[in-house]
């Protein structure tokens, strides 16, 4: 197994021709969990460059009343992402050799569950972004106040390396999408926190005197 591949485990229950697949069993009653069998899918981490290629492939342009409107066909995007990312699997009973033909025969519910787990690993969630923004804000405020107790979030370090070494877009294409999203979120919060501290400092040095 390649070290950089991501493992997505999906829990599958088959009853005749029907198939139920879940990314986790948190909402499944304990008495029913034994009916589900785990299958592990090996996936390439989603990179910035690959994601952009899939978005470009899924772009559709419509002309409505003379206006060109660009839309994204999300089904095409998901299919391109899935086919590119999936590299193998294990855990099927009876065993199923991995092949493009076998991939095409996957139940849609299984594909949806795989992509749910895959997206959780490869996209920065709103909650993750809020947590990162708080960490960056606390760090910058601690530095501004003369405290050295907080270590810098890794995203600030990586952003500074991007600027320092001048990575090219091609080099950035190989960085995992979630990591780049974190870098962008850190950059956004860093600028916002610095501006707020500068405004607070300016207001302290130039207090507004009220009129009597």
Hey, where are the domains in the chain? Answer: 6-122, 126-204
Total-model pTM? 0.79
Main-chain phi, psi angles of 126, to 5 degrees: -60, -40
CA distance 98 to 88: 6
C-alpha 94 chain-centroid distance: 33
Residue 172: per-residue pLDDT: 79
Please give, one letter per residue, the 3-state secondary structure of 44-110. Answer: CCCEHHHHHHHHHHCEEEEEECCEEEEEECHHHHHHHHHHHHEEEEECCCCCCCCCHHHHHCCCHHH
Residue 117: per-residue pLDDT: 95
DSSP strand pairing (86-90 vs 67-72): unpaired
For residue 22, what are the β-bridge partners? Answer: 11
Q: Sheet containing 18-22: which strands, arranged edge to edge?
A: 18-22, 6-15, 37-43, 86-90
**Mean pLDDT lowest for which of 61-70, 107-116, 144-153, 169-178?**
144-153
Q: How confident is the model at residue 149 (pLDDT cuts 50, 70, 90)?
A: low
The percent of residues in the chain predicted with pLDDT above 90, rounded, is 58
Residue 1: per-residue pLDDT: 40
Q: How confident is the model at residue 141 (pLDDT cuts 50, 70, 90)?
A: confident
Mean pLDDT score, 110-133: 95
Q: How confident is the model at residue 64 (pLDDT cuts 50, 70, 90)?
A: confident
Classify residue 62 as left (phi > 0), alpha (psi -120 to 50) or beta.
beta
């Amino acid at each position: 197994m390649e070290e950089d591949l991501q493992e997505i485990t999906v829990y599958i229950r088959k009853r005749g021709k029907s198939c139920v697949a879940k990314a986790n069993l948190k909402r499944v009653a304990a008495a029913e969990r034994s009916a589900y069998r785990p299958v592990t899918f090996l996936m390439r981490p989603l990179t910035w460059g690959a994601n952009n290629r899939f978005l470009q492939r899924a772009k559709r342009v419509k002309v409505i009343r003379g206006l060109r409107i660009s839309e994204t066909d999300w089904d095409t995007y998901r299919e391109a992402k899935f086919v590119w990312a999936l590299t193998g699997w294990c855990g099927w009973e009876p065993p199923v050799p991995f092949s493009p033909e076998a991939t095409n025969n996957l139940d849609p519910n299984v594909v949806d569950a795989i992509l749910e787990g895959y997206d959780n690993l490869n996209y920065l969630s709103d909650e993750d972004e809020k947590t990162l923004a708080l960490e960056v804000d606390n760090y910058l405020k601690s530095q501004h106040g003369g405290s050295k107790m907080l270590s810098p979030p890794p995203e600030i370090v990586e952003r500074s390396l991007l600027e320092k070494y001048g990575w090219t877009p091609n080099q950035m294409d190989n960085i995992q999408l979630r990591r780049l999203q974190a870098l962008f979120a850190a950059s956004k919060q860093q600028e916002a926190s610095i501006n707020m501290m500068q405004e607070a400092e300016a207001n302290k040095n130039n207090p507004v005197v009220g009129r009597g």
